[in-house]
Amino acid sequence: MKEVLWCFKYIKGKTLRENYKEVYKLLTETNPVTRMNIDAKALLNQKNYILKAQRITTVEIYVE
């Protein structure tokens, strides 16, 4: 979960917008074996679920 949010935060800081396709590309380049069965849209849904359900605290997101 932290890795997904980190990728979104990294891409947003790099491009000043939240492009989920770029996040998917970054995630698959850094870890080609993990999350093999997830596509870009499902990755966006996963991020939204994590934030909505408060699965990770705000402190955990910004500490890294």
The pLDDT confidence band at residue 7, using thresholds 50, 70 and 90, is: confident
Distance, in Å, from the CA atom of 14 to the CA atom of 42, rounded to the nearest integer, reads 22
- Domain containing residue 25: 2-63
Q: How many domains does the chain have?
A: 1
- 9-64: pLDDT as tens digits: 888 888 888 888 898 998 888 888 876 788 889 988 988 888 888 877 666 655 55
Can you tell me the distance from the alpha carbon of 2 to that of 6, in angstroms, rounded to the nearest whole number? 6
